[in-house]
Amino acid sequence: MSAQTFMIVGASLAGAKAAEELRTQGFDGRVVLIGSEQERPYERPPLTKDYLRGESEREKAYVHAQGFYEAHEIELETDATVTALDPAARRVTLADGRELCYDRVLLATGAEPRRIPVAGADLDGVHYLRTLADCDALRERLDTGGRVVVVGGGWIGSEFAASARQRGLEVTMVDPVPLPLERIFGPQIGAFYRDVHRDHGVELALGEGVEAFEGDGALARVRTATGRVIDCDFAVVGIGVAPRVDLAIGAGLEVDNGILVDETLQASAPSVFAAGDVAHAWHPFFGERIRVEHWSNALNQGPVAARAMLGQPVSYDRLPYFFSDQYDVGMEYSGLPRRAGRRCVHRLLAPRRTRGGGHERQRLGRQRTRPSADPLPRADRARRARRPRHATRHARRRVCTAKLTETATRWPRNPTRNGHRGVGGSNLARHASRQLPARPLLRTALDDIRTGAIAQARPPSTRLKR
């Protein structure tokens, strides 16, 4: 039996999957998994979707069943925060004063919501959504009904707005950017989602930021930069996240928009690794560092980091993959959005109902783009040229896929049940045909996404597979 201690700081998806992988790979030393939250590791996507709306059990959100950690002799410490890391001494200090030694440590400390720096931001009724506890508080608000202002038209804001509408609340979305998701996908997809939200009754105050939250002790209204006043019972702020790097900075690790790691997920100090939202990792295919704030990245990077901790020859070269569900519209993309100038093949798939009542995939668009100039700096190009051959082989087998799909295809449900009558049972093509001819919309969507990567085409049915 190994006498080594492998420690994981951050007991969420990346950390929990890393702990699981250590045992799967036969590591029989100590595995210590430390997390600040009171919960055992859970997944966050349900917190803007089914769990938030009260449609799924809490148990479904957890990464592992109750008893898993005990059964696999993983020492899970919840409600415990690591306050300092000393890579030279291979030791961490916890908030309660304890000091624990490790042989290898994985930092999976994730990200935290950016706070909005305006007057009244600390009023009761101004919410953020990152943890199960945040979600529980918002579930209670949704039960009460009323009016909510959603600040931010990114993923969290858009998904929360959709769920709140599905629960029957009056929703106003405020964002200084003119279209939801425009920062990520550009104007065409942004316009598509604007219309989806508008069709579902979301009031849009786009192109104007929040100037102040106002109220006497508790939030009563939001004032926008143009002077508009929106009465509300509560607000949800979703204006992005920042990687949690305090520990890494204190430890003297190299940090720049996350913890800098190489393709084996090794940080700048020996025996220290990082994975998930906090890792700014060298990607052998893109030939540059990327930090990905997506579920699938945490899911897959954790286990790769675990194998790196075991000294196995690994290289994390999976392409970023993201999914979003809003009303009955689902979207998936692979690659890096908004990267122009790279060679790639896009394919766009949307569902089509068959006579038998089932669905089959319909190819709606395909496009190749070639780079006009290599956008990478010379030093990075040289590094990319040295990438391992398997990364190139991998890449050849892949095609870049952007998919806009219908949630109902994967999770069939009664379209009127959640009150989204307007587009019940519709899909992107049908939405598009009401607003724009389908093909041009899809083509421009492809232009717009410009994943700039060569990504794996995989049917959405495999999306939630572990």
Ligand X SMILES: Cc1cc2nc3c(=O)[nH]c(=O)nc-3n(C[C@H](O)[C@H](O)[C@H](O)COP(=O)(O)OP(=O)(O)OC[C@H]3O[C@@H](n4cnc5c(N)ncnc54)[C@H](O)[C@@H]3O)c2cc1C
> What is the contact surface with ligand X in residues (CB under 6 A)?
9-15, 34-37, 44-45, 47-48, 81-82, 108-111, 129-130, 156, 244, 247, 276-277, 293-296, 298, 322-324
User: For ligand X, which is the closer residue by CB, 334 or 369?
Assistant: 334
Q: How far is the CB of 21 from ligand X (least distance, A)?
A: 13
Q: How far is the CB of 127 from ligand X (least distance, A)?
A: 11
For the CA atoms of the chain, what is the radius of gyration? Answer: 23
At how many degrees (to 10) do helices 438-449 and 428-435 cross?
110
User: For ligand X, which is the closer residue by CB, 63 or 438?
Assistant: 63
The contacts of residue 393 (CB under 8 Å, 6+ apart) are none
The contacts of residue 50 (CB under 8 Å, 6+ apart) are 56
Q: Please, are residues 401 and 346 in contact by the beta-carbon 8 Å criterion?
A: yes
User: For ligand X, which is the closer residue by CB, 70 or 79?
Assistant: 79
User: For ligand X, which is the closer residue by CB, 129 or 429?
Assistant: 129
Distances (CA, A) of 20 to 95, 202, 320: 25, 42, 22
Between strands 359-369 and 272-274, the pairing is unpaired
Look at residue 113 and give its three-state secondary structure.
strand
Q: How far is the CB of 221 from ligand X (least distance, A)?
A: 25
**Alpha-carbon span 284 to 390, nearest angstrom:** 10
DSSP secondary structure code for residue 256 in this structure? S
Q: How far is the CB of 406 from ligand X (least distance, A)?
A: 16
Q: How far is the CB of 269 from ligand X (least distance, A)?
A: 16
User: For ligand X, which is the closer residue by CB, 130 or 383?
Assistant: 130
Q: How far is the CB of 240 from ligand X (least distance, A)?
A: 11
**Alpha-carbon span 107 to 112, nearest angstrom:** 15
User: For ligand X, which is the closer residue by CB, 336 or 438?
Assistant: 336
Q: Copy the structure tokens of residue 31.
A: 């595995």
Q: Please, are residues 418 and 157 in contact by the beta-carbon 8 Å criterion?
A: no
> Residue type for 351, please?
P
Distances (CA, A) of 445 to 275, 347, 387: 31, 11, 31
Q: How far is the CB of 185 from ligand X (least distance, A)?
A: 14
Question: What is the number of alpha carbons within 13 Å of residue 313 lying toward its C-beta?
Answer: 2
Q: How far is the CB of 181 from ligand X (least distance, A)?
A: 13
**Alpha-carbon span 428 to 413, nearest angstrom:** 17
User: For ligand X, which is the closer residue by CB, 247 or 408?
Assistant: 247
Q: How far is the CB of 377 from ligand X (least distance, A)?
A: 28
User: For ligand X, which is the closer residue by CB, 48 or 334?
Assistant: 48
User: For ligand X, which is the closer residue by CB, 212 or 242?
Assistant: 242
- Farthest-apart Cα atoms in the chain, separation: 67
**Alpha-carbon span 52 to 130, nearest angstrom:** 12
